[in-house]
Amino acid sequence: LVCFSSCTQFKTIPINNMKVIMWDMACADEWYVEKYSKDSTLKKNKENIRLYEQVFATHKISKEQFYSSYKYYQEHADLYKILIDSVQFYASRERNKPIKFAPTSPVAY
């Protein structure tokens, strides 16, 4: 029984990783809202869920790991405050980064 319960529990995602994941999820939300607010003919069914799944895959975590970690931070107010402050600071830094454009080939006229 002890082995089973320890094997099924997830290790909490560290704050430094969690802040990046939460920022990516916020960006996915923003993209979703922007895209679907402009065109009401697009099917909205579960697109935001697919975007979250892409974020989880990018960070090599499961939905369960994320939500388990998020719940852990919510239950520990001191750590939750640190997490939220970290996300806000990270977001501020990311928004102020210069945009890098990929080089393009010359256009032939």
Most distant CA atoms of the chain, gap in Å: 72
| Sign, CA torsion 64/60/13/9 | positive
User: pLDDT tens-digit profile of 23-71?
Assistant: 999 998 888 777 776 766 656 566 778 889 999 999 999 999 999 999 9
Model-level pTM?
0.71
CB 73 within 8 A of CB 80: yes
